Chain A
Amino acid sequence: MNQPGILELVSFGPQGWGKALLAGAWMTVLIALAGYSIGAAIGSFGAWAKISGSRGLRIAADTYTTVLRGIPDLLVIYLFYFGGSAVVTAVGQLFGAQGFVGFPGFLAGSLAVAVTSGAQFTEVFRGAFKAVHAGEIEAAIACGMGRWLRFRRIVAPLTLRHALPGLGNVWQVVLKESALVSITGVAELLRQTQVAAGSTGLPFDFYLIAGAIYLLISTGSGLFMRRAEQHFSRGVRRS
């Protein structure tokens, strides 16, 4: 049997898996972006609850971050994938649908990634807010700025600037976590690689390529993050 070479395997030709891998990489980025943005929303709410929420809200946010940072992400994905299906099936039966209704893997995956990254976002935002100099907020109050204006013009931009390095870390974690979503059957990069490895009998080559693609995405986004940091810290003197 004539084994096709590895270059032929990752090409975009009829025997090539290039197209599948590229589509998988795109799906990976989409899951990561969806999880990241929902996670950021959860995180800003969590940070707000921890900083200035009521006692109940603060306890809830504390419990959330402690639990989500102490249990494996895989478990959270199982919860959303199987738990989501159970809820959807129950709702479906309420409306007279028969049998099992599956929960879309993409939604389950992004929600699981969002909920786990939300805990990290909470801590990043809280730490960044603490780094905002009290004098800046005082000055804003002294200028007679209202609560909302103060938040929009002073607190939010300064917090974001302090949060940028932490946000970069969270993005890297989210990107790697998105590989776990492959167990729900979503055709993201790792899932496509598994299919390719299985049907060609060349697992080593394909997993190596998948690793290289992940490395490429994370390095690329790392460079972007560094540029963003440079951009938003212009005018700040570093010791």
Chain B
Amino acid sequence: MDWQFLFETFLSLISAIPLSLELAATSIILGAICALALALCRLSGIPALDWFARSYVFIVRGTPLLVQIFLIYYGLGQFPAVRHSLLWPFLREPYWCAVLALTMNTAAYGSEIIRGGLLSVPFGQIEAARACGMPRMMQFRRILLPLAIRQALPGYSNEMISMVKATSLASIITLMEVTGVAAKIISETYRAIEVFIVAGAIYLAINFLLTRLVHLLEYWLSPHLRQPVPHPAAGLAPAPIEGDAR
């Protein structure tokens, strides 16, 4: 193993990590917002919205991401109306095209996960909120959404990992993120295996950290599942009432 070469590869790939992370973070955040909106469309009970969300999810999940990226990056420029619009400065940039395609993609997959989470909230909880006299918006904000997020988080972490992996496709439209730089080094040196090991290790490290973060978030969101921490003055205080906090 040529350690010198591995180290040099590592140094050049490390400089590309910020772009990969930026692409992933931007599209995951924007995508989550769109996913929530799509899930709400599905559950709204309004046929037009439901139909729109269904067909959107069907189309996006049924076509390869690369085709979607090409459609946005090369395809939109075909129309003079787009070229002369205010959006052109954005759509001309490969970065924003990649973000748009990734966001659209993760919104479709994420909406199904969020929908599952929303559907899993027991009706009794909402009934209780109603009985407390909460208005609809507050019910949603305080009861439905937090419970749904907690339920959907494990599934959503898979989606986040796929997004980190999907950022690699941005290299095909000239963005020099980790895979882009790796491909450049491979085509210059033809040492595919070494470069693959380094780039793969970087992606694994990112995804490992991501899963740890989601675990931490899950821990923070589910205090009811934790063992109660013994209070220093436990002997003096009256015994807590036993019961199912859920």
Interface residues of chain A, those whose CB is within 8 Å of chain B, are 66-67, 69-76, 78-79, 81-83, 85-86, 172, 175-180, 182-183, 190, 193-194, 197, 201-205, 207-208, 210-211, 214-215, 218-219
Contacts and interface: CB of A to CB of B under 8 A. Distances in A.
Interface string B53-96: 00000110111111110110011111100000000000000000
Contact of A74 (B68, B171, B190): B171
B190 A85 contact: yes
A202 B186 CA distance: 32
4 A-B pairs closest in CB distance: A72-B168, A83-B192, A204-B75, A179-B64
B154 interface: no
A179 B66 CA distance: 7
Given A211-B68, A211-B71, A214-B63, A82 B165 contact: no
- Secondary structure at the A interface, as helix, strand, loop or mixed, is helix
B209 to A, nearest CB: 11
Interface string B159-202: 00100011111011000000100110011001111001001100
Given A71-B200, A74-B168, A82-B187, A207 B70 contact: yes
Contacts of B165: 70-73
B203 A72 contact: yes
B193 A203 contact: no
A203 B77 contact: yes
Contacts of B59: 211, 215
Interface in B207-232: 207-208
A176 B64 contact: yes
Contacts of B192: 78-79, 81-83, 86
A214 B193 contact: no
A176 B75 CA distance: 19
A197 B161 CA distance: 32
Interface of B: 58-59, 61-68, 70-71, 74-79, 161, 165-169, 171-172, 179, 182-183, 186-187, 190-193, 196, 199-200, 203-204, 207-208
A66 B207 CA distance: 10
B66 A204 contact: no
B66 A180 contact: yes
A137 to B, nearest CB: 30
B171 A70 contact: no
- Secondary structure at the B interface, as helix, strand, loop or mixed, is helix
**Which of A70, A73, A204, A205 has the most chain B CB within a 10 Å cutoff?**
A70
Contact of B75 (A69, A82, A207, A218): A207
Given A72-B167, A75-B199, 13 more contacts: A67-B200, A70-B204, A71-B204, A72-B166, A75-B179, A75-B196, A79-B192, A79-B196, A86-B191, A204-B75, A204-B79, A207-B74, A211-B68
A75 B67 contact: no
A204 B64 contact: no
B13 to A, nearest CB: 11
Contacts of A214: 62-64, 67
A128 to B, nearest CB: 19
Nearest to A211: B63
B203 A71 contact: yes
Contacts of B66: 179-180, 182, 190
